[in-house]
Structure 1
Amino acid sequence: MNFSLPVFGRLTRTTISFSLSLMLLACATPKTEPVVLNLVAINDLHGHIEKEKFSYTPRGEKTAKTLVGGGIETLGANLAAWRKEDKDLIFVGGGDLIGASPAISSLFADEPTLHALGRMGLRVSALGNHEFDHGLQELQRQIHGGCESPRPDRACKFDGRFPGTQFSYIASNVLSKQTQKPFFPAYHVEEVKGVKIAFIGAVLRDTPFMVAGDKVKDLSFIDEAEGINRTIPVLKEMGVKVFVVLIHEGVSSPDVFDQFACSQIKGPIVDIVKRLDPAIKLIVSGHSHTGFVCNVEGRTVTQAQMYGHLLTRISIKLDATNHQVMDIQAKNMVMEPNSAPAPEELSNLLHKAREGSKAIIAEPVAKLAVPVITRKLNPAGESPLGNIVADAQLAAVKDMGAQIAFMNNKGIRSNLETLAGNISTYGQNATVLPFGNTLVLMSLTGAQIRGLLEQQVWLDEESQDGRNVLQVSDGFTYIWDAKRKVGERVIPDSVKLNGIALDDQREYRIVANNFIAGGGDRVAMFLQGKNVIDTGIKDIDVFMSYIKAHDQAGTPVGSDKPVGRVKRIN
């Protein structure tokens, strides 16, 4: 069949044929628009599912702002709004999503928090040290589901059942001692917008110092960068082009939370990032409860503070052809309630948790002498609340021979607050000591006690803020000098019990919680103790009994300042 092209004005057949060729060529040419992957990151939620008061200082301002925000309703509303902008948004975590939680979550073995994160669409999270607080058996139950638990009084009490997490927990550097292979999945791969993106998990190598030793006795924690880098060849073989590290390890930074590409950071993660495979361009961190978006040798490192006060929005721009990372933008967003309605399923979940825990949380325990007993440390490393916790522990086992109590400040998780009339409730007390640690008795010589004090102040060599100094009980006093060299900072003759200098050769009976008694918080001298007895008595029980007894005796506990058992010069 013959046909001829008509002529339009001055256009010839040749011109029209060329034009059609260009049109066909344009249709065959691949899209050149970059691919944009959107992430949102959270870290260190610690079961804070309710709104709460917190303060922050925005970039460029000198005055802090205070608001009531965060909580799963606020988080869920923001995530829902952002998903309207991009339905493929990926929600990820940097660890410590549970553990050391308020009573509304901890009373139910953190199952409300895990339920909520699943309903918010969390896809994957690094493991944090606090995920191991109640041991490997409990962590596996929380991940895989079931009611067989070392906490039968709490497990499955929220719903009558627990199906496990709806997201993946990952850790490339946690190995089984038996097999020397990753005990948990090392990575999680998502395919979004035609792009394979791998999330590689890691938890700080020092996790065994952060939890009671028997909780992780079957696991090895290797170097974070080594564990992460091991996964890259396997992931590349799978066709992965984009690599994101989710790591529970952090830094400190003097920059404000919303400063873009800050460079003034220091801490363990800096060295880790510098040793990562060059293919890794984005690191989402946790652990240090700091908000920042920083640049480390061309890589973006983020953290969203803690307790759901912030979320980090991250945009990764990729070359459309090769899926190479062209640009990364990240910003920490304050979780201020807005006009967007909270997802109904999250509101219902929160209501159920409130109703289920209300009677226990609201139960009055004791009247205090002041409205708030703070855990804030003075320059020597002593706090008013630390004084009382140590005194309570000594009083509980004094008839068993205890002479001195030691308490790690990091184990005191919040101030002890009160309601009207300075009445503290069970919920407020449980937030102070949420771990359910037990009291352990042991014998140490005077020389070993001085060595223990040297170990704790050595840990402050970099921070110089006293935050690692142990809280001590009434009658025990000493002085330390921050300018002296390591190993000689405690003034020997100043270490006294009831005004009498400790005898290096004499044994003293001391009490500490099972976490530090097992070498936690790097104070290894406790491991040299003799005649060790785990009493099984829980720290929160003796604490509440102590403040209740004082209230009933007409001498409520509490003060605005520490009493001066620990003194510091320089």
Structure 2
Amino acid sequence: MNLSHRPWLTLVRTTFSLSLSLGLLACATPQRQPVVVNLVAINDFHGHLDQEKFSLTRAADPKPVQVEGGGIEVLGSYLQAWRKEDKDLVFVGGGDLIGASPGISSLFADEPTLQGLGRLGLRVSALGNHEFDHGIQELQRQIKGGCDSPRPDRACKFDGDFKGAQFSYIAANVMGKLSGQPFFPAYHIEQVKGVKIGFIGAVLRDTPMMVASEKLKDVSFIDEAEAINRTIPGLKAAGVTVFVVLIHEGGTTTEAFDQPACSQLKGPIVNIVKRLDPAIKLIVSGHSHTGFMCQVDGRTVTQAQMYGHLLTRIALTLDGNSHEVMQIDTKNVEMTPSQLAVPAELSTLMEQARKGSDAMINQPVARLAVSTLSRKLNEAGESPMGNVVADAQLAAVKNLGAQIAFMNNKGIRGNLETKQDNISTYGQNSTVLPFGNTLVLMTLTGAQIRTLLEQQMWLDDESPDGRNVLQVSDGFSYTWDRKRPVGKRVLAETVKLNGVAIDDQAEYRIVANNFIAGGGDRLPMFVEGKNKVDTGLKDIDVFMQYIKAKDHAGTPVGSSNPAGRVQRLN
């Protein structure tokens, strides 16, 4: 029997096919257009509210160029223009937004910077190591607001009140010692164009090596990647589909800041990125003060140099249905002045900050022997600025028995510049030593001093700026040999005090700031010092008193070259 010739069977077949097609259409999810989420990132702003000169090397030209820009008004003009393109743009940070700041911000406990970042529309930032500079109590005040501060001379002096940061600080790997849980929020969720984005924060695990130990007594720091990965299940349960890491840890590359998809990134951030959950596709970094847009194992890793010199524009193209990341486009943009309008509220803030700080910042302190006292290290690891800082600290406590002063080079944050007649101002001096560290006396044996010198961060590259060679006071000297193995580079017979070789068994009274006295900058020998006394004398006060006294005596400090207290062979 030929069933195909029966009309009713043809009708059934047609009806079944039509019903199946309609059923499939009813069950299918319509394909939505891709969603583009725009982010802008900043890192290591360090309270640089005003414009300044800086150097950039562009991919198109290997010769560095000097430009002027940055500053909160310039940043605001660009962000305002970009928000006209996309009102849902999200502004985020990679940490160290405050701390080690110029006088215009530091004189007011960085409150102008926190207010300014709020007015820029910052939504969330990782914590950086410098956010911890003045301790947990002060950081919590800066986040939540109020005037109960360990710096009563600076807190709430900007406008009489302080309401706290208008954005979220996050860090998944800062743990409360009592609770064992994240001390700060581990993440922050933003809903943008119908998409839930989870921003996960972290700060470098070595923060205790960079902040005085007594300021971190309530918290501990765990592995960055492990802490970040712990947050993923909870974020997924909350409906988050896009994961962005904001981390204050970085790396370096020889490639230009504007080189797309750079591939030569090196440093701690690389190992961290390689261990992150596969769901994470974008990492915004900081700490290394380098501009880059790199690829690491198929993920995008960015950094916007420092001080607001650059902003990183990031476009996330997401699948319209699954919201999975399909493409990430990045661009590091130079923050140079333009014809763009400056938001009035930022101009008002800057006018207030300049007016409030100018009198103090421009107050003359002392005449120098040179127009610029440089912190740049020579090949041996010594700088003209380091000489003066160490001498000032020794002079301040010599009457208490101090014989040698040691100063960490990374604690000196800039050159001491002068503008007219070689006269330095309070603002210029405070920029050089912005931490307000105190001087600590202790006793070390000669053998411990030699071990301390070996503990310095000797790196095998040719750049002396890569090392944290201790700056030493007048009368102390030694020689080191780069070709010798690490741990045996100091020539023992050359370690001398006032021309006499130090005795391994003898005890010497030394002075150092409270940061390295607590083992900071990976110098654990200081922890073993005996008979410690924190004098309470602040390094910046001691420094200014010293250069002022020298000026009044007719022997202003400073030279163009280091004094030669540290010598290097090979």
Scaled by the length of structure 2, the TM-score of the pair is 0.94
Any residues of structure 2 matched to 1:338-417 within 5 Å, and which? Answer: 338-417=338-417
* Distance of 1:492 and 1:422 partners within structure 2: 40
* Distance of 1:96 and 1:477 partners within structure 2: 35
> Is 1:175 matched up with 2:156?
no
> Is 1:483 matched up with 2:491?
no
Please give the per-residue CA displacement for 1:133-187, whole angstroms capped at 9, x wherever unaligned: 0000000000001000000000000011100110000000000000100000000
Please give the per-residue CA displacement for 1:345-382, whole angstroms capped at 9, x wherever unaligned: 00000110010111100100001111111111111111
SS in 1 for 2:140: helix
The residue that corresponds to 1:565 in the other structure is 565
Deviation at 1:481, TM superposition (A): 1.2
The AA in structure 2 aligned to 1:345 is E
* Distance of 2:310 and 2:498 partners within structure 1: 47
Any residues of structure 2 matched to 1:137-286 within 5 Å, and which? Answer: 137-286=137-286
* Distance of 1:483 and 1:33 partners within structure 2: 61
Q: Unaligned regions of 5+ residues in structure 2, if any?
A: 1-17
* Distance of 2:413 and 2:350 partners within structure 1: 22
> Is 1:95 matched up with 2:65?
no
* Distance of 1:127 and 1:484 partners within structure 2: 39
CA contact under 8 A between 1:72 and 1:116: conserved in structure 2? yes
* Distance of 2:66 and 2:30 partners within structure 1: 50
SS in 2 for 1:62: strand
* Distance of 1:377 and 1:30 partners within structure 2: 63
Please give the per-residue CA displacement for 1:109-128, whole angstroms capped at 9, x wherever unaligned: 00000000000000000000
Deviation at 1:62, TM superposition (A): 2.6
The residue that corresponds to 1:536 in the other structure is 536
> Is 1:291 matched up with 2:291?
yes
* Distance of 2:456 and 2:57 partners within structure 1: 32
Deviation at 1:61, TM superposition (A): 0.4
Deviation at 1:462, TM superposition (A): 6.0
* Distance of 1:486 and 1:172 partners within structure 2: 35
Deviation at 1:477, TM superposition (A): 0.5
CA contact under 8 A between 1:251 and 1:268: conserved in structure 2? yes
The AA in structure 2 aligned to 1:468 is N
* Distance of 1:568 and 1:203 partners within structure 2: 35
The residue that corresponds to 2:421 in the other structure is 421
The AA in structure 1 aligned to 2:477 is T
The residue that corresponds to 1:110 in the other structure is 110
* Distance of 2:119 and 2:189 partners within structure 1: 20
Please give the per-residue CA displacement for 1:364-409, whole angstroms capped at 9, x wherever unaligned: 0001111111111111111110000000000000011000000001
* Distance of 1:538 and 1:155 partners within structure 2: 18
The residue that corresponds to 2:7 in the other structure is none
The residue that corresponds to 1:334 in the other structure is 334
* Distance of 2:182 and 2:462 partners within structure 1: 33
The residue that corresponds to 1:430 in the other structure is 430
Deviation at 1:60, TM superposition (A): 1.7
> Is 1:52 matched up with 2:52?
yes
Deviation at 1:419, TM superposition (A): 1.4
Deviation at 1:476, TM superposition (A): 0.6
SS in 2 for 1:386: helix
* Distance of 1:519 and 1:225 partners within structure 2: 25
* Distance of 2:200 and 2:295 partners within structure 1: 19
CA contact under 8 A between 1:212 and 1:514: conserved in structure 2? yes
CA contact under 8 A between 1:457 and 1:489: conserved in structure 2? no
The AA in structure 2 aligned to 1:402 is A
* Distance of 1:222 and 1:462 partners within structure 2: 29
CA contact under 8 A between 1:464 and 1:482: conserved in structure 2? no
Deviation at 1:219, TM superposition (A): 0.4
Deviation at 1:57, TM superposition (A): 1.4
Deviation at 1:32, TM superposition (A): 3.1
CA contact under 8 A between 1:172 and 1:187: conserved in structure 2? yes
Give the 3 Å change call, closer, same or farther, for CA 515–430 of structure 1 in structure 2: same
CA contact under 8 A between 1:202 and 1:247: conserved in structure 2? yes
The AA in structure 2 aligned to 1:295 is Q
SS in 1 for 2:188: strand
* Distance of 2:457 and 2:42 partners within structure 1: 32
* Distance of 2:565 and 2:253 partners within structure 1: 31
Deviation at 1:461, TM superposition (A): 4.3
CA contact under 8 A between 1:94 and 1:127: conserved in structure 2? yes
CA contact under 8 A between 1:44 and 1:97: conserved in structure 2? yes
Any residues of structure 2 matched to 1:16-35 within 5 Å, and which? Answer: 30-35=30-35
The AA in structure 2 aligned to 1:523 is L
Deviation at 1:63, TM superposition (A): 2.4
The residue that corresponds to 1:508 in the other structure is 508
* Distance of 1:131 and 1:29 partners within structure 2: 47
The residue that corresponds to 1:465 in the other structure is 464
Please identify, of 63-72 and 142-151, the stretch whose mean Cα deviation from structure 2 is larger. 63-72
Give the 3 Å change call, closer, same or farther, for CA 523–245 of structure 1 in structure 2: same
Give the 3 Å change call, closer, same or farther, for CA 36–360 of structure 1 in structure 2: same
Please give the per-residue CA displacement for 1:312-353, whole angstroms capped at 9, x wherever unaligned: 000111110100110101111110000011110000001100
The residue that corresponds to 1:15 in the other structure is none
* Distance of 2:104 and 2:460 partners within structure 1: 37
The AA in structure 2 aligned to 1:244 is V
* Distance of 2:386 and 2:196 partners within structure 1: 49
Scaled by the length of structure 1, the TM-score of the pair is 0.94
* Distance of 1:395 and 1:332 partners within structure 2: 46
Deviation at 1:30, TM superposition (A): 3.3
* Distance of 1:290 and 1:554 partners within structure 2: 42
Deviation at 1:568, TM superposition (A): 1.2
SS in 2 for 1:293: strand
CA contact under 8 A between 1:374 and 1:383: conserved in structure 2? yes
The residue that corresponds to 1:4 in the other structure is none
The residue that corresponds to 1:452 in the other structure is 452
SS in 2 for 1:113: helix
* Distance of 2:338 and 2:108 partners within structure 1: 29
* Distance of 2:420 and 2:112 partners within structure 1: 28
The AA in structure 2 aligned to 1:339 is Q
Give the 3 Å change call, closer, same or farther, for CA 464–488 of structure 1 in structure 2: farther
The residue that corresponds to 2:67 in the other structure is 67
Q: Unaligned regions of 5+ residues in structure 1, if any?
A: 1-17
* Distance of 2:293 and 2:457 partners within structure 1: 31
SS in 1 for 2:61: coil
* Distance of 1:219 and 1:549 partners within structure 2: 41
* Distance of 2:209 and 2:463 partners within structure 1: 20
SS in 1 for 2:414: coil
Deviation at 1:465, TM superposition (A): 2.6
Task: Calculate the aligned-residue CA RMSD, in Å.
Answer: 1.5
The residue that corresponds to 2:13 in the other structure is none
SS in 2 for 1:182: coil
* Distance of 2:354 and 2:225 partners within structure 1: 41
The residue that corresponds to 2:524 in the other structure is 524
